[in-house]
Structure 1
């Protein structure tokens, strides 16, 4: 049970640490963390944890890493990342640390605390410095959502850096973060990177033929078909990539009228513009 609530529990915990079957420096790190928690109760010039680290000659990299974990546990994210990216530290539990950084806002909100907007960069800073493998799907998906919220194009480029078997699910996640209303900002009036901007950026991405087909299938037959504006995205993508015969042949997409124009009127215009070429399946601009 942690933290210990009585002196006896503290003694029992200390005994378990020093008698555990692990390396000496691991024991030192555990005691260091414990003393870091106790230091606030002792008003000395030097913290208990720091004095202990010096007494046992705990290497700076171990000392710094454990301090980073302590700050992370205490929701001091900026200070934690500064410690956890210290040069010389061997990455340990990188996916778990990344997940904690990514979900830190939820933890603060549950405690009625607001996160510093400047802390939004911390996950990217940790990723660039440590290069966590993101083998854990939960962490990988959270990081993908984070990237999509920052920059659609950068997320698309990042997807291509991942193993091939991960790429299609991540593409679906990119589309979801752009179109699914559950992923939209709760304060759109003050949003700098708007949903509309993300959608236009998504439409303009240089998808491969295979990616194009997968996304269209996801939006017409898969879970994406329930997303608002799914059909709009398909039509915009067809127009952007010059697949005008597909636009002219579409019979299902209508959409609401904006400034007197909807997809029906646009498709009629495309048909008239193509003339007899509307039946040429390979025609594209």
Structure 2
């Protein structure tokens, strides 16, 4: 362990004593006396606030531009897992500010899930920045997160600007893949076909009763054109 790391640990412990009312800032005194680099001070204070579950304050430190993103995965995991009521603003703010290259699949899965439940368009565009195999996995996660978690974004899913590859993934996942058992799988495929003007493909489409009148109207219109 380097000297700077040892100093950082001592500084972290001293932060607890700074909370004593009327107590001089022992941590600041120590940091100054030991010539501790400021970036270590900033980072340790951020971790200290995170450990105290003061995530909003912690973000002011851990997202500081002087810091490298070596611990970005751990920070993202903590922020996403501790988000309350599906509010991922802090995790996404950290991610967009630091723009880290994530090293673990867990961190990637969690931050992408946060994106998918917050802004499906942003999640789709982010998935496209990855190699094909990872991109396909993220795309499937996008659908599962949006439809499976009763996300407010589910109404937008069928209207996203998919390319031809994503279009094939979308239909395969919801018709024959793992997503076929999602509650709104068939309805989402139907809406996608309507939104894409693929009316000829829905003549034999089965869907929930709420779409029955719409489907019958489309079928009647198609049959009328064929007569």
Superposition TM-score, scaled by structure 2 size: 0.90
After superposition, residues 1-285 of structure 1 pair within 5 angstroms as: 22-41=1-20, 43-45=22-24, 47-105=25-83, 120-180=88-148, 183-184=149-150, 194=152, 198-248=153-203, 250-251=204-205, 253-257=206-210, 261=213, 263=215, 265-275=216-226
Q: CA deviation at 1:273?
A: 4.3
Two-structure CA RMSD over aligned residues (Å): 2.2
Q: Secondary structure at the match of 2:18?
A: helix
> Could you tell me how far apart the structure 2 residues matched to 1:227 and 1:266 are?
26
> Could you tell me how far apart the structure 1 residues matched to 2:222 and 2:31 are?
77
> Could you tell me how far apart the structure 2 residues matched to 1:228 and 1:246 are?
21
> Could you tell me how far apart the structure 1 residues matched to 2:108 and 2:67 are?
22
Q: Secondary structure at the match of 1:155?
A: helix
> Could you tell me how far apart the structure 2 residues matched to 1:44 and 1:125 are?
34
> Could you tell me how far apart the structure 2 residues matched to 1:54 and 1:42 are?
21
Contact 1:238/1:246 (<8 A) preserved: yes
Q: Structure 2: state its 5+ residue gaps.
A: none
Contact 1:254/1:262 (<8 A) preserved: no
Aligned residues: 227
> Could you tell me how far apart the structure 1 residues matched to 2:176 and 2:224 are?
30
> Could you tell me how far apart the structure 2 residues matched to 1:121 and 1:137 are?
21
The structure that has the greater radius of gyration is 1
Contact 2:88/2:114 (<8 A) preserved: no
Q: Structure 1: state its 5+ residue gaps.
A: 1-21, 107-114, 186-193, 277-285
> Could you tell me how far apart the structure 2 residues matched to 1:273 and 1:202 are?
31
> Could you tell me how far apart the structure 1 residues matched to 2:185 and 2:221 are?
20
Superposition TM-score, scaled by structure 1 size: 0.73
Contact 2:56/2:90 (<8 A) preserved: yes
Contact 2:14/2:27 (<8 A) preserved: yes
